[in-house]
Structure 1
């Protein structure tokens, strides 16, 4: 681009000077120099770019494909759950522990389970597990917060506990999922990461 900006105006100016018969010798020399410069830019920059740009695009495509394959290989190698369903199953022991801790009778619970599809940053299709458990008004919110806070803070090194704005959250790293208690709604929420899988 810089080469074109330098040579094209000079070439145009030289041609105009020759046409108007102004300083013909100097204009002729300037036109020849500008023409040679423009030819060099075309041969050395523009022509090679027709090969370089497609090659760069192919390299980028190969890199993205490798990223997608590496992500799937990590799943196949057992780094985390193999599916959204598996992540949900791994979280059930934490759900059961929380319900037992809060002394919730199974008949009083309303549970909704669903999954959501998406795409990972690497471009693989993925699915996330979701579960909502409504505890009901008979479960005291203040005592629930205290019990869950104490229990979740004492969990293993493979978990992380967070508390913010009336939400208690326990992240379970091996399951790539979290279980949260939301004080305002008095409900437990289980959510997994979007687990990648190879599309058929």
Structure 2
């Protein structure tokens, strides 16, 4: 065996491995490209039909599937087309390379004409529809506020909760003048995008109020409240939610305080 024979064998092995890898890529492209194109076309057609009939609930839901269709179409065709062109230029596996190039090229053309081109109309329209839907949701939220169902403001929610505060102090036999009370409000944004405010009130009962008896008294009373309320107990916290006021009153065992918190009540458009 001469000194050059091992190098020749290694070179032939590398060439065989390279050809095998190229062949696998080309075959993979020939198989995957049509499947990917069909999926992309299906998604795009569904989006176009839904958009034409306005069957999507928020008007802007067409954007996501359409972008997915574009990505799938390009990923299925562009790599296969590049692999086919490279193989043709290297003059290797010309039959498989020609097949991959033709299949990927036709698929890419279909994606461009039937998926990408319509996107120039679908995506801007989806954005406009999404904005229109968001404005509608914000306005409906404000209309519900004006309809009189629930408190009209955070301050009103706090006022409606005062009877529950007074009842709790009376049950605990604590005079209102004997507690320290602080109130404040916080600002935020609703899920629909309107500005909103929340009411907060903290009533410190003091160490002279026994915590064990307080827990038992409030638990019994709050469980017996009407249908428009709900009681919950967890981690040393007793909580009574009042649906008509969109607020809760809680007793925190660790701090021995009553805490009133309202939902974030819409206060106007952003």
> Normalising TM by the smaller chain, what interval?
0.7 to 0.9
Aligned-partner Cα distance in 2 for 1:100–1:56: 57
Per the alignment, residue 152 of structure 1 pairs with 222
Q: TM-score, normalised by structure 2?
A: 0.64
Contact 2:204 2:257 in 1 (8 A): yes
Q: Secondary structure at the match of 1:197?
A: strand
Task: Report which of the two has the higher share of helix.
Answer: 2
Listed as ranges, the gaps of 5+ residues in structure 2 are: 1-70
Q: Secondary structure at the match of 2:209?
A: coil
Q: Single out whichever of 26-35 and 99-108 deviates more from structure 2.
A: 26-35
Q: Cα deviations across residues 131-187 of structure 1 (Å, max 9, x unaligned)?
A: 000111222222222222222122111111122222211111100111111122111
Q: Cα deviations across residues 64-85 of structure 1 (Å, max 9, x unaligned)?
A: 2222112111111122111100
- 1:168 aligned to 223, 231, 238, which one? 238
Aligned-partner Cα distance in 2 for 1:153–1:29: 75
Indicate the RMSD between aligned Cα atoms, in angstroms: 2.7
Aligned-partner Cα distance in 2 for 1:25–1:144: 86
Task: Report which of the two has the higher share of strand.
Answer: 1
Per the alignment, residue 130 of structure 1 pairs with 200
Per the alignment, residue 188 of structure 2 pairs with 118
- Does residue 179 (structure 1) correspond to residue 249 (structure 2)? The answer is yes
- Does residue 62 (structure 1) correspond to residue 132 (structure 2)? The answer is yes
Listed as ranges, the gaps of 5+ residues in structure 1 are: none
Q: Secondary structure at the match of 2:152?
A: coil
Greater C-alpha Rg: 2
Closer/same/farther in 2, CA of residues 47 and 100 from structure 1, 3 Å limit? same
Closer/same/farther in 2, CA of residues 103 and 53 from structure 1, 3 Å limit? same
